[in-house]
Amino acid sequence: MAGRLRIFVSAGSDLELEREVIGKAIASLPVSLGWVIRYTPGRGKPLAPALKAVAASHFYALLLGTDIRAPAGSELYVARQSGKRILAFLKDAPHTPAAHVFIRDASLDWTHFRSEDELGPLLQRALVEQILAGAQTYDVSPVDWETLSALLAELKGQEGLERGREEVAPGYRGAGKGAVIVAPGRDLPPGGVLVEKPESET
């Protein structure tokens, strides 16, 4: 049984907007389980906790922009060693020679995206397919199953169509950093109350 769904996203510093979009896309998935989202650590941050988080995650996604940057290779290695299915997303952009070599030699099934807006639905579809495939492992309720199945059908119906062009709103800033997304129905103890800041304090 999964208390929260855990995902690790390998994404370099050149993909800041994409990280924001991923955080928003994951947070908007209609499941009653919460999420723990971890990302590639910034320069100078210790690597060991990130690699441990990769191994402990339910899902692993790799994003590649213009260049391949450390420690993405190490994170990918741990994901493979721990048996993760790799969700690999490649931005259609000019790539450095090192990135070209990595794309060619990494033996990944790349999903191409042109913009941040296109990435969100692609990631959602890949995650929903994995969640539905492992529904018992992830403790997906019948209501979640039906809702996710409907979302998957909708996302499949959008294939080949132009994706929405909604920009990342300022209110979503911070979605590109590691996060824990609580599920009030499951994460609160009996009789617990979810406390939110008054609008005047936000």
pLDDT single digits (tens) 83-109: 999 999 999 999 999 999 999 999 999
How many residues are given for the chain?
202
| pTM for the full predicted model | 0.76
Cα–Cα dist 178/63, whole Å:
15
Predicted pLDDT of residue 195? 46
Contacts of residue 46, Cβ cutoff 8 Å, sequence gap at least 6? none
Helix (H), strand (E) at residue 118:
helix 116-133
| pLDDT in the model for residue 162 | 47
Three-state DSSP class for residue 180: strand
188 part of a folded domain = no
Q: Are strands 110-113 and 34-39 parallel, antiparallel or unpaired?
A: unpaired
pLDDT in tens, 155-202: 988 765 544 444 444 444 455 556 565 555 555 555 554 544 445 454
Distance in angstroms (rounded) separating the CA atoms of residues 46 and 155: 37
Q: What is the CATH number of the domain that holds 46?
A: 3.40.50.10140
CB of 91 closer than 8 Å to CB of 99: no
C-alpha dihedral (90, 26, 53, 79), degrees to nearest 10: -40
Which DSSP category does 21 fall into? H
Q: Report if residue 80 sits inside a domain.
A: yes
In a domain, 77, yes or no: yes
> Which is higher by pLDDT, 178 or 70?
70
Specify the pLDDT at position 25. 93
Omega within 30 of 0 (cis) for the link into 170: no
Q: What is the pLDDT of residues 114-138, one digit of tens each?
A: 988 899 999 999 999 999 999 888 8
Report if residue 192 sits inside a domain.
no
Domain total of the chain: 1
Q: What's the mean pLDDT in 51-56?
A: 96
Residue 52 phi, psi (nearest 5):
-65, -40
Range from 2-16, 60-74, 126-140, 165-179 carrying the lowest mean pLDDT: 165-179
Domain hosting residue 18, numbered range: 4-182
pLDDT at 57: 95
Reduced to 3 states (helix: H, G, I; strand: E, B; else coil), residue 185 is: helix
Instruction: Check residue 117 and give its pLDDT.
Output: 86
